[in-house]
Amino acid sequence: MQEAEFVFSLVFALFAFGIIYPPTEFESIGLTINNIFGTFLGTIEIEFVQYQLRRTCLTLFIHTILPTLYCVCYHLKFGDLIEYDVRSFPKFILWNSFILFAIVLPIISAGIIYYWWKNNYAMHPIIQNLRKYGNGQQAAIDINTEYRRDDKICMKTSAVHSVVATANWIMKVGHYSVNCAHQSDTALIAIRSDSHVLSEASTETIQFVNIRVKPTRPGVSEFIIRINALDFKTLQDRITRPIAILDGVQFNRSVIDRFIEVFKQQIRLNPTYKTNEITDQCFACQSAPPNVKLQKNCTDELVAGSEHTHCGNCYCRPMWCIECMAKWFASRQNQHEKDIWLQQRCTCPMCRSVFCILDVSYVELTDE
């Protein structure tokens, strides 16, 4: 193979890899199958199941014509495609076999797609799976309806997979398939966790958890979803079934989680703030009651390296819970100086008054 042919083949291989496993750069410029053929696929928010039926067929066809596309582009650029020199036996066999493969593969995929498509996608694996829950058409309507709601969660777990959880369904979306399981008769089991260092220059790690989704309904296959450990609680809060955790599965606590615990321990040592009036819910999370108030307790000692030199008085009423206040405090700090976060200052999220950790007080309700 000449140098020009090698470079051409390498560039096309990188392009094909990007189409099959689209990196962030491809997604940012819209170079993905979903974006390029968005008009044909329709709107996922309106008809989730129908969108996935069309998407899986289209993705299978696009992926299988990539070798054919390579052969066409090679012929247009370099001329003769077929190798006629029998004397170079390995090249003769391998190259012509590849050409035959590039011709046959799209034909086979077209046959599979036609088999799926006929009779309104009656034989498509997605519809076949939904039929095991009784009326497949009604199951599709229910999924579409639930997907339109705002309370669903969609987590992209890799370049080729994502997890969708609605009020009653949990689904794993892949290139050529969508695994569906109704939560009412499904067990979820965290079976494995693994951690990875983000970079050699950083001590930060990322942890993933493998969860087995095991339907008890006859004929419905189980499947594995792999999510970031930070998304575990989000998934647990959305689904109606508890996630069982095997004994060997350990969760690493994030830096923020550890900081929140230390933050709480320090706040317990501070004076309390007495009041008889608080808002119903935390302004940030809208779930926990507000239980902290900013009031000046410190002596304004200069903090080395802090951009704020003096704490001020905050006149806002209690509106935040301790966890959201700790997250706010951490988010305003230098992420490369985690060891001195507690020594730093921050600004009130409402009035921008400067405060330090000594100025955060738990709220004590009074009858007056």
Residue 233 has pLDDT above 60, yes or no: yes
Domain boundaries, position 50: 3-127
Clarify whether residues 157 and 237 are in a common domain: yes
What are 279's two structure tokens?
A: 């808002």
pLDDT at 69 over 90: yes
Q: Look up residue 129 and give its two tokens.
A: 């799976």
Co-location of 339 and 297 in the same domain: yes
Question: Cα–Cα distances in Å, from 261 out to 186, 225, 320, 323?
Answer: 34, 30, 16, 9
Tell me, what's the pLDDT at 244? Answer: 92
Cα separation values, 56 from 34, 213, 226, 241, Å? 10, 21, 20, 29
Query: Both 62 and 97 in a single domain?
Result: yes
* Distance separating alpha carbons of residues 205 and 267, to the nearest angstrom: 28
The phi, psi pair for 340, rounded to 5°, reads: -115, 20
Question: Of the given ranges (145-159, 273-287, 319-333), which has the lowest mean pLDDT?
Answer: 273-287
Please compute the mean of the pLDDT values over residues 148-172 and round it to a whole number: 92
Residue 353 has pLDDT above 60, yes or no: yes
On whether residue 143 sits in a domain, the answer given is no
Are residues 214 and 188 in contact, defined by beta-carbon separation less than 8 angstroms?
Answer: yes
* Residues 277 and 359 reside in one and the same domain: yes
- Cβ pair 241, 186 in contact under 8 A: yes
Residue-averaged pLDDT of the chain: 87
In a domain, 313, yes or no: yes
Residue 18 forms part of a structural domain: yes
Q: Which of 68-72, 115-119, 129-133, 284-288 has the lowest mean pLDDT?
A: 284-288
Of the two residues 310 and 362, the one the predictor is more confident about is 362
Residue 133 belongs to a domain? no
pLDDT over threshold 60, residue 303: no
Strand partners, 364: 274
Does 213 reside within a domain? Answer: yes
In contact, 284 and 318? CB cutoff 8 Å: no
Q: Do 226 and 320 belong to one domain?
A: no
CATH number at residue 206: 2.30.29
Mean pLDDT of 222-241: 88
Indicate whether 22 and 118 sit together in one domain.
yes
- Per the model's pLDDT, the better-predicted residue between 254 and 210 turns out to be 210
The C-alpha atoms of residue 310 and residue 240 are separated, in whole angstroms, by 48
Residue showing tokens 């067929």: 57
Q: How many domains does the chain have?
A: 3
Cβ 243 vs Cβ 190: under 8 Å:
yes
Q: Where are the beta strands (DSSP E) in 33-130?
A: none
Residue 305 has pLDDT above 60, yes or no: no
CA dist 142 and 164 (Å) reads 14
- pLDDT at position 201 is 61
